[in-house]
Amino acid sequence: MDVKPINYELTFEPDLKKFTFLGTETITVSCKKTTNLISMDCAEIKIKSCTVKSGSKIVKSTPKTDEKKERLSIRLGEKIKGKATIHLEFQGILNDRLLGFYRSQYKQGGKTKYLATTQFEAADARRAFPCWDEPEAKATYEISIIAENKFTAISNMPVVSKKKLKNKTLYKFGKTPVVSTYLIYLGVGEFEYLTGKAGKVQIRVVTTKGNKSKGKYSLDLGKKLLNSYEKYFGIKYPLPKLDLIAIPVFAAGAMENWGAITFRETILLYDPKTSSTRTKQFIAEVISHEIAHQWFGNLVTMKWWNDLWLNESFATFMATKFVDKFYPEWNLWDQFIEDAMNTAMGLDALKTTHPIDVTVNSPAEIREIFDAISYDKGGCVLRMLEHYVGEKNFRAGLKKYLSTFKYGNAKGQDLWDAIGKASNMPVSSMVNTWLKQPGFPQIDISQKNNDLVIKQNRFLMEPTKQTQKGLWHVPITYGLGKETKTKLLTKKSMTVKAPKGPGFVANIGRTGFYRVKYDDGILLDLKMLVDQKQIPPVDRWAIQNDLFALCVAGKEDVENYLDFSDAYFEEDSYLPQTNVANNLNFLSLLTFFEDYTEQIRSYAINYFRKILSNLGWTPQKTDKHTDAFMRGFAIFALGKLGDEHVLEQAQKKFKEFLKNPSSLHPDIREPVFSLVAWTGNAKTHSQLVSLYKKAKTTEEKDRKSTRLNSSHLVISYAVFCLKK
């Protein structure tokens, strides 16, 4: 970059009646080479004036914008070099497209209101001010906002001064550390706050008026997480404040703007009276994810967008790790495996998948890689890497990486090098086999006398000779109890000594991102061990999960899976129980038109009835956290399978709810509304519309709006149950 920004002085004056904003900007730049042309990113902005100074000399300048290329070119009357300043005055649009500097609409007391907010990732800061809109162009920022007196202004840093200007107020914010454009934040609205402290750092939950009481859970959790991340990374949080801001209309789930994290309202505000167990958990995971970014992403930033996957998958991985520390009873790692790993493997088993690490030529291509491969598979690979090198070495390498590159930019390879050095293990060569090629391996294990023959091939739903290729460095863990071993498989096959004892499990704890196919003799031993619960829950889950995937891929018979699943009829652990339930439900839907559909349907109904019989319809104080998920899924699945008793109960509970809303627990409202909508008529539709209009929270509106169109019901709730 021949012209590099050093500091931006920015003043914004938004107009929430005309939906426009005025801006002034002074950029201090460094020109490495002699030039008479300065070019930067700029979109949907009208330049009103432009002045360029080289030293104390004003240089003649002619600005020209190219809307198609989203560029501002400033032609200079003479060549300059070294330090210079560019002063711009401009006008922009507070758009309604939820990107750049935009307006967010909401209702309050029957009135329509607006606030101004920003979403700059990946490359939309250029819609708010001319800039070098890429991660490596870090600079400091001095931001001011002029707002009407009824509004409050927010940015990345605390307010250092406020000045009255008739019916408006000028807010001046502190100077930021060096930061990338996509992490800058501007907010103007009728806000209220809940405030607390984590050490010397001020933490606020920011909401629209009337909602701050719902921010208590998020504030308390935010304080705990900030302190915990500081200790884990060994680096103090770099800013003096952290705002968690609830935005009524927001496209993403949340955004990690440095010191001013924005959230969709439903992912920050929690009401114990109306919010579900799932909502509480989701809020915790997202807050943890965004706070992890304050170090990994904000303090140390990727050089270019091809490493976005590392940014996001690392935050996903860390979010689970830290929320699990605070809420071990939630079994978050079990849920991570059931959700993230299953989702990623489902997508990665297709011929249309892509590698984790892909070339990104322009920010416009970024949305194409925001998928389960970037987030979920990436998170699984990091989990596999941590288990391979050990938690202590993983953390040591991470701390070294962050301290070396803080306030700068780094590549993924820099992290692998740091962890490899800390562990003295071949991290780079191992991890790159998982990043640079698509797919994942199937590990075939067969026993010959006292030896195990282990082979790897790519796992695919529809394999061909062209797509079958692939060779991974696979950490193979195998054994049972305390007798376990780890070998790194780097070739197509290897032979190892079989463990002694009645049987063994491979891919212990399902830490590796691969599927295992056992020979018939090993599988028979495993069925007995599963039935007797002599294998940990995660491994009981993994054995049948792999077997089911092999059935779907046509590599095993469905009859074999059903026979093996008999060992899970008395299962009482969430992870294997929910997965067997999911698989049986899937089979009953998949085989709907087959001759043997009634046999599978009956099998599935019996399994779900046993779950619901054990849990009951009414949540109890003694319930485990995950019981809420199983109960809702069992009710919904039984209703969809045509269980008359469940359908009658759903109707009965819905009628009671219409008379007394508190009679129906938030955790079972979703399945009850779903079944009522599915079996309902025009009157039911009217009732649901009325409930939607009367709902006081966004969460309640979301819960009811997804039920209004019963034709979309199966897809929406199946996704809700399987993905969350």
pLDDT greater than 70 at residue 104: yes
pLDDT value of position 444: 97
Could you give the CA distance from residue 198 to residue 111 in angstroms, rounded to a whole number? 36
Residues involved in catalysis = 290
pLDDT value of position 700: 66
Asked if residue 135 lies in contact with residue 301, where contact means CB atoms within 8 angstroms, the answer is: yes
pLDDT greater than 80 at residue 368: no
- Compute the average pLDDT of residues 330-357: 92
Q: Which residue has the tokens 């806000």?
A: 191
pLDDT value of position 712: 36
Q: At a CB cut-off of 8 Å and minimum separation 6, what does 256 contact?
A: 183, 290, 293, 294, 297, 298, 315
pLDDT digits 0-9 by tens, 66-85: 999 999 999 999 999 999 99
With the CA atoms of 185, 188, 190 and 196 taken in that order, what torsion angle do they form, in degrees rounded to the nearest 10? Answer: 30
Q: At a CB cut-off of 8 Å and minimum separation 6, what does 46 contact?
A: 65, 90, 91, 92
**Phi–psi pair at 10, nearest 5 degrees:** -130, 135
pLDDT digits 0-9 by tens, 414-428: 999 999 999 999 999
**How many other C-beta atoms can be found within 10 angstroms of the C-beta atom of residue 684?**
19
pLDDT digits 0-9 by tens, 631-665: 999 999 999 999 999 999 999 999 999 999 889 99
Q: At a CB cut-off of 8 Å and minimum separation 6, what does 69 contact?
A: none
DSSP tag of 181: G
Between the two ends of the chain, the Cα-to-Cα distance in Å is: 43
pLDDT greater than 50 at residue 493: yes
Q: Which of 377, 370, 316 is nearest to 346 (CA)?
A: 377
Could you give the CA distance from residue 506 to residue 485 in angstroms, rounded to a whole number? 10
Q: Where are the beta strands (DSSP E) in 514-654?
A: 515-518
Q: Which of 487, 494, 561 is nearest to 523 (CA)?
A: 561
Asked if residue 125 lies in contact with residue 114, where contact means CB atoms within 8 angstroms, the answer is: no
Amino acid 514 reads Y
Could you give the CA distance from residue 705 to residue 691 in angstroms, rounded to a whole number? 9
- Compute the average pLDDT of residues 1-29: 96
**pTM assigned to the model:** 0.90
Quickly list DSSP for 530-553.
HHTT-S-HHHHHHHHHHHHHHHHT
Asked if residue 163 lies in contact with residue 144, where contact means CB atoms within 8 angstroms, the answer is: no
